[in-house]
Structure 1
Amino acid sequence: MTGDEAEARFLDDVTVELVKHSASDSDVLWAARVSTAGEQSLEEVGKDPARSRGLINFLMRDRHGSPFEHNSMTFLVSAPIFVFREFHRHRVGWCLAGDSEITLVSEKGHIRRRTIGELYRLWHHGVEDTLPRTGGGVSWHEKARKWNAQVKHANRSHYLGLHDTRESAERAVAAFRAENPSRRLRKLDSVRRNHVRCYDETTFQASRARILDVMESGVKSLIRLTTASGQELRCSVDHAILTPDGWRKAGELRAGDALMIGGTAPRPSEALVPPSLRRGIGVWTSMQRLRLIGEIDTCYLCSGSFAREDLALDHVVPVAADLLKALDERNLAPVCLPCHRKKSDSEQALARRGGKIAMAKPDLITSIEDGGEEMTYDLSVEGPWHNFLANGIVVHNSYNEESGRYRELQPNFYVPGVERKLVQEGRPGKYVFAEGSAEQHKLVTEAMEASYRQSYAAYREMLEAGIAREVARAVLPVGLFSSMYATCNARSLMHFLSLRTKNEQAKVPSFPQREIEMVAEKMEAAWATLMPLTHEAFVAGGRVAP
């Protein structure tokens, strides 16, 4: 359905779908027993249900958390945008140590590095300016025929006397500023425009992607991966690492396994593709458009739906990288024009450094050790490839939300149901929510629906005038529905549930916003079906994560 045909839909509920998982109570039992019984413990799992329940209860009660991390669940969540802002603040998943160095790439391909902890501080808290806040200085006093020293500090003028020489007056000013340091805090907009090095997961060729957010993920237990080339990364066991065979969790890797690191390869020479042949390949590719691109088709990079005129046929493996695939229609895929331009730029310019092209290459893990426990961080980066380099190792970001840059957003909006409490009573930290009256519910519904219709009409008007989607979306409200993939393990999910559900059995009370609690309740229901013994122990233990 196109934006012209779509009518506004007003929804009062969220949806949560468990799209894939590798999670069962036996994962917890195996992880707990393997340290004492070795691999043969697999044969014992499930033989004695009472013993299994007792072991899980013991692990939960005594807070042995690591056995609950050897599993994975991926949920597809559809909810209002403001719910995802809460999700962002209390993420359930992948984390890096604060000293992990992130590779940043300028528009011209210049490389620099910052630790992820430093990026977080600059992103959220700004940085001290290089100039002191004090003003004033030295001036010539004509009547006294001397040098006047005066400084403005903290909105007050401080007279430092008359001096026979300029040098003496300057020393007085310098001494005052040294004794009264004052620097102004400012936000660095340039940090929010930073791009990271990322990689095409099909060709392993380097590109760049804009940072969308830098997140603090809480204190977590970490493991330390070391590779044969000397790369070292400390991350949570859930963090996804790119390998030659695709994405794997760090906790699933073993010494001797391969992962992908940043590297270089000889740049393919365009001289290998004569101009006449290149033109011929272009003509042949154009002839396949009507056959290989539907009237409405999907961009293989961003998954957005577009009309045929807004799509190009792209060589998934570039012509210069493999000439044998230049006339192979299986190597052609529809791609929207922004993604095509971005991919072409990365192939032709951004990945070049000297006579080399930046590529991800395999490296062998030599050791996996305990990495300690400390505050952790993560990035959210722009698609289509949601990955970045951390300490030279290709890792994945953990938060993939629907992008309004690449697809037209549909008019699905949130309106609270009649059971939603509307009235806040009390002061911050002590308030409670009370039922709203019929008149208040009517006011909320009518005001929201009118606002939604007006903002979406403005959004469509801008799109029809040729305004870029990423600009037009700014008028849309946070009540718009979006979708997101969220991946977690049982331990991180329990942390999330303890914060985002209100339950009388909880040892530590929580007062979540109702809309994210709706998401949490549906996630908990799916998890309880997968891991009933673990869920039972979580509830019996006061809903406190181990």
Structure 2
Amino acid sequence: MSGEPRFLSDVTVELVRHSAKDTDVLWAARVSTAGEQSIEEVNKDAEKSKGLINYLMRDRHGSPFEHNSMTFFINAPIFVFREFHRHRVGWCLAGDSEITLVSEKGHIRRRTIAELYRLWHHGVEDVLPRAGGGVSWHKGAQKWTAQVRHSKRIHYLGLHDTKEAAAQAVAAFREANPSKRVRKLDSVRRNHVRCFDEVTLMASRARIVDVMESGVKQLIRLSTASGRTLRCSVDHAVLTPHGWRKAGELVVGDELMVAGTAPRPSEALVPPSLRRGIGVWTSMQRLRLIKQVDTCYLCSETFDRDELTLDHVVPVASDLLKALDERNLKPACTKCHRTKSNSEQALAKRGGKISIAKPDPIVSAEDDGEEMTYDLSVEGPWHNFLANGIVVHNSYNEESGRYRELSPVFYVPGHERKLVQEGKPGRYVFVPGSDEQHKVVTEAMESSYRQAYAAYQEMLEAGVAREVARAVLPVGLFSTMYATCNARSLMHFLSLRTKDERARVPSFPQREIEMVAERMEAIWAELMPLTHAAFVANGRVAP
């Protein structure tokens, strides 16, 4: 995958799939008054429909704009995604959602996602004060000495007849001169969540990559027959027996996948000789079933054939009849194959209980107001975790440098990119750079990129893990991701990441993320022209 570095000055935004039309807004708005006849109402009067959308936008009735979905493929420099990452496009959980954490030894504990966010980003107050010192016995005076070290000075608090009196003097000083230190708990950043293999439904664990605060969002409350409750945004993906579904699409009677247990399968072990034979046969199919460059069916990343192996989608221990069925074989990268195989080993053991995901019917689904929301990003290959015992999806899917060698494609600003900042913070403007400045920028960036990528390649060739070697790569490296949103969350994003004279609230975005936002807006304007026009006419403020 290595090669000569390439330099680009533009970004790529493509619409992968969508269910987004102006009629989605109209149906959602009219269903409260027209019921099942709302579909017929949509086509009666075009001008009336246009007026309704404008009314909803003007008076900030936001929920009708959430009943649609757009998924974009985005290729841009990494620093763009660092800003994009702050706009969680709607996949969010309420702060009181309990996340199931699992230690390496399998011990379970639970923290709310709001608590995880606080510990991850802001640290906690240390239990020990900065003020040192204490009580000691003064042999010459035959009394107890009280002293405290505070602000780089020793404060003598006198001699006392009893140890208790000296301790009280120290305590009083510390209370009058508080000095607690704040630190981030590194242990929180090493936490792993309970996740589930989406093929076998067996429990596994995945490391937390980030904890995000996602802003105030409209929530929906889903309750199940077993008593579990999930409060999340309508766009948040939850696992069902039929795959991933948005929470807002589910109704009473639909089933969610929740944490549960089941008797451990009692099938006898596959005999070693038969297992060896299956392994030989599987290896013989590699050249025929794996392309020279192919995709891991678990993490969807692209790899060379040498980095892939054939995996039994339905494990051999689960169904021996499918062991020699080539339709049951798919390419998997080494990392994903190892993770999946480890979870499948339990299938060959007998007795006891195993942790699995199993269906639980929904008994109620209702709106639950607005409040601050949060989300997690977790490692693959199964980007999911447990929130209040319900399997939900992690919402940030960016290309991972842990599982594939990153391509040498880097960002260099085009000549039209303004380079010079003038004015004070809050009042500054960008103006075009000179030819000489553009030359300096281009030569400096290209030289830096070449040097960094050469160091990256050198470490890979020496056998260093990709996740370690990637640390030398700059944020100007191009990466890819999928972003899913509805019209309302997209309008929030556009209001902050585009500069437009018609905007009621001015915004001053970095040019590179504005390039992404402009392309997303152009695509959305074609899908929902009435909604886009109302957004612009009402000051580009999201409802």
Structure 2 length normalisation: TM-score?
0.96
Aligned equivalent of 1:515:
512
Of the structure 1 ranges 247-256 and 272-281, higher mean CA displacement relative to structure 2 is found in 272-281
Q: Within 5 Å, give how 1:292-331 maps onto structure 2.
A: 292-331=289-328
1:251 to 238, 243, 248: 248
CA deviation map 1:418-474 (0-9, x unaligned): 111111112222221111111111100000010011111111111111111111111
Determine helix, strand or coil for the equivalent of 2:455: helix
Runs of 5+ unmatched residues, structure 1 = none
Aligned equivalent of 1:357:
354
CA deviation map 1:311-363 (0-9, x unaligned): 32222222223333223222222222222222222333699999222211111
The code of the aligned residue for 1:190 comes to S
Q: Residue 333 and residue 274 in structure 1: after superposition, are their counterparts in 2 closer, same or farther (change >3 A)? A: same
- Return the alpha-carbon distance in structure 2 between the equivalents of residues 534 and 308 of structure 1: 47
CA deviation map 1:362-409 (0-9, x unaligned): 111100122121100111111222111111111112210000011111
Q: Residue 296 and residue 542 in structure 1: after superposition, are their counterparts in 2 closer, same or farther (change >3 A)? A: closer
Q: Within 5 Å, give how 1:462-501 maps onto structure 2.
A: 462-501=459-498
CA deviation map 1:162-210 (0-9, x unaligned): 1223333223223333444332100111111111111222222222111
Aligned equivalent of 1:124:
121
The code of the aligned residue for 1:319 comes to V
Determine helix, strand or coil for the equivalent of 2:145: strand
Of the structure 1 ranges 275-284 and 76-85, higher mean CA displacement relative to structure 2 is found in 275-284
How far has the Cα of 1:478 moved from its partner?
Answer: 0.2
Aligned equivalent of 1:242:
239
1:139 to 136, 147, 150: 136
Query: Percent of aligned pairs with the same residue?
Result: 82
The answer as to whether partners of 1:259 and 1:365 remain within 8 angstroms in 2 is: yes
Determine helix, strand or coil for the equivalent of 1:377: strand
The answer as to whether partners of 2:7 and 2:412 remain within 8 angstroms in 1 is: yes
Determine helix, strand or coil for the equivalent of 2:415: coil
How far has the Cα of 1:260 moved from its partner?
Answer: 0.9
Q: Residue 229 and residue 433 in structure 1: after superposition, are their counterparts in 2 closer, same or farther (change >3 A)? A: same
The code of the aligned residue for 2:516 comes to V
Is structure 2 residue 69 aligned with structure 1 residue 75? no
2:47 to 46, 50, 53: 50
- Return the alpha-carbon distance in structure 1 between the equivalents of residues 90 and 218 of structure 2: 12
Of the structure 1 ranges 469-478 and 103-112, higher mean CA displacement relative to structure 2 is found in 103-112
The code of the aligned residue for 1:266 comes to P
The answer as to whether partners of 1:8 and 1:453 remain within 8 angstroms in 2 is: yes
- Return the alpha-carbon distance in structure 2 between the equivalents of residues 473 and 159 of structure 1: 53
Of the structure 1 ranges 13-22 and 383-392, higher mean CA displacement relative to structure 2 is found in 383-392
The answer as to whether partners of 1:91 and 1:496 remain within 8 angstroms in 2 is: no
Aligned equivalent of 1:397:
394
Q: Within 5 Å, give how 1:13-162 maps onto structure 2.
A: 13-162=10-159
Q: Residue 351 and residue 180 in structure 1: after superposition, are their counterparts in 2 closer, same or farther (change >3 A)? A: farther
The answer as to whether partners of 2:210 and 2:376 remain within 8 angstroms in 1 is: yes
- Return the alpha-carbon distance in structure 1 between the equivalents of residues 454 and 117 of structure 2: 37
Is structure 2 residue 380 aligned with structure 1 residue 383? yes
CA deviation map 1:191-241 (0-9, x unaligned): 111111112222222221111111111111111110001010111111111
Determine helix, strand or coil for the equivalent of 1:222: strand
The answer as to whether partners of 1:108 and 1:350 remain within 8 angstroms in 2 is: no
Q: Within 5 Å, give how 1:243-282 maps onto structure 2.
A: 243-269=240-266, 271-282=268-279
The answer as to whether partners of 1:202 and 1:317 remain within 8 angstroms in 2 is: yes
How far has the Cα of 1:539 moved from its partner?
Answer: 0.3
Structure 1 length normalisation: TM-score?
0.96
Q: Residue 307 and residue 17 in structure 1: after superposition, are their counterparts in 2 closer, same or farther (change >3 A)? A: closer
The code of the aligned residue for 2:113 comes to I
Determine helix, strand or coil for the equivalent of 1:376: strand
Aligned equivalent of 2:457:
460
The answer as to whether partners of 2:126 and 2:183 remain within 8 angstroms in 1 is: yes
- Return the alpha-carbon distance in structure 1 between the equivalents of residues 473 and 52 of structure 2: 50
User: How many residues were matched structurally?
Assistant: 543
Alignment RMSD (CA, Å): 1.9
The answer as to whether partners of 2:92 and 2:214 remain within 8 angstroms in 1 is: yes
- Return the alpha-carbon distance in structure 1 between the equivalents of residues 347 and 319 of structure 2: 19
Is structure 2 residue 370 aligned with structure 1 residue 373? yes
- Return the alpha-carbon distance in structure 2 between the equivalents of residues 24 and 334 of structure 1: 37
Determine helix, strand or coil for the equivalent of 2:25: helix
- Return the alpha-carbon distance in structure 1 between the equivalents of residues 293 and 23 of structure 2: 46
- Return the alpha-carbon distance in structure 1 between the equivalents of residues 48 and 297 of structure 2: 49
The answer as to whether partners of 1:149 and 1:162 remain within 8 angstroms in 2 is: yes
The code of the aligned residue for 1:18 comes to L
CA deviation map 1:124-178 (0-9, x unaligned): 1111112222200112223322221101234343221112233332232233334
